[in-house]
Amino acid sequence: MPRFHHANLGVPPDAADAEAEFLVGVLGYRRLEPPPAALGRGARWFEADDGTQVHLSLDPDHVPAAKAHTAIEVGADCAAIEARLSAAGIPFTAGDFDGRRIVICRDPAGNGWELRG
């Protein structure tokens, strides 16, 4: 059975630091040191407690997708993440869907996220 390992998101170079702060400060990922070959390409890696990762690739021509998004399960942390989104000034919508809390937002690079409580 396949197991999810990582999502690779494009970010404009001038949004890379804000994107890292979103992943660490808002969503709770921790930074990982990419292997030397990836560092040479400007890669930035982040990991969740379950071992799944988000990799960032610097892309000066980055255009966020209109509908595509990354969905993650945040469980009981959903309310705390909503508070951190508000504190960071990141707009979001939230509501209940199919018995769970769903938060929709865009990260500093414009990539879509679905945060599932």
pLDDT band at residue 114, thresholds of 50, 70 and 90? very high
- Give the number of domains in the chain: 1
- 17: which 2 tokens? 């630091």
State which residues form the domain around 14.
Answer: 6-116
pLDDT tens digits for range 5-36: 999 999 999 999 999 999 999 999 999 999 88
Domain annotation covers residue 35: yes
The pTM assigned to this predicted structure is 0.94
Domain annotation covers residue 1: no
Q: What is the CATH number of the domain that holds 81?
A: 3.10.180.10
DSSP reduced 3-state for 99: coil
pLDDT of 40 > 90? The answer is no
pLDDT tens digits for range 85-98: 999 999 999 999 98
